[in-house]
Amino acid sequence: MTSEVVENEFEFYSKAEKYWKDVPATVDGMLGGYGHISSIDINSSRKFLQRFLREGPNRTGTTRALDCGAGIGRITKRLLLPLFKTVDMVDVTEDFLTKARSYLGEEGRRVRNYFCCGLQDFSPEPNSYDVIWIQWVIGHLTDNHLSDFLKRCRTGLRPNGIVVIKDNMAQEGVIMDDVDSSVCRDLDVVRKIIRRAGLHLLAEERQENFPDEIYHVYTFAMR
């Protein structure tokens, strides 16, 4: 649990904000020097997501998506804009959202809102999103804030909408990273937080073909 590794909540958040302010507004910066894995990541995410967008009575819509911890818009540009009519982006670092406006190019006109806000303070507009995509950012929230945010995401979903988390998973327990002021949780801890938020897991998948030296990465779909 994060309560065991986060000693000072205010410091936990402010230190993370400061860290990201010094990170280059590039794909490589967003991925901590692992920019070369971006295409592998996006291709896997697209396959994962498309299983919910296929035809059928409970098909997830393609009207509007929300990119959480969006950075400069790597996921918005390559995954969400090709699949959804409009996208909203939320990130705590203003410089990244400013950079996104040029990085996204012409298609960026379909980004309706750029929200500059930490997820612990962000509330998705109720009944608005078909997909809420949360990637490589849950480690910047305490357990309580993550659970509360997921509850707010639940109310932000349109009928048949889904919340997707894609993130690093620890082998066991919760590991603190003092460099970027984040935590890495194991699968059981993440599943418990999802349940606590009143969400039901629809699918879970481990990312393949990532470098051996990084954490295992898992994707969860829920509603």
| Contact of 107 with 84, CB cutoff 8 Å | no
Q: Which residues contact 184 (CB under 8 A, 6 or more apart)?
A: 139, 168, 169, 170, 174, 175, 177, 215
Q: Is the pTM of this model over 0.85?
A: yes
Q: Which residues have C-beta within 8 Å of that of residue 43, sequence separation ≥ 6?
A: none
Question: Which residues fall in the annotated binding site?
Answer: 69, 74, 91-93, 119-120, 135
Q: Which two tokens stand for residue 78?
A: 């390559």
The confidence score (pLDDT) of residue 162 equals: 98
Where do the domains of the chain lie, and which CATH numbers do they carry? 2-222 (3.40.50.150)
Residues annotated as binding site for S-adenosyl-L-methionine? Answer: 69, 74, 91-93, 119-120, 135
Per-residue pLDDT at 2: 81
Q: Measuring CA to CA, how many Å separate 8 from each of 1, 12, 27, 181? A: 14, 6, 30, 11
Q: pLDDT tens across 166-201, in order?
A: 999 999 999 999 999 999 999 999 999 999 999 999
Query: What is the C-alpha separation between 94 and 25, in angstroms, rounded?
Result: 10
Q: Which residues of the chain have pLDDT under 70?
A: none
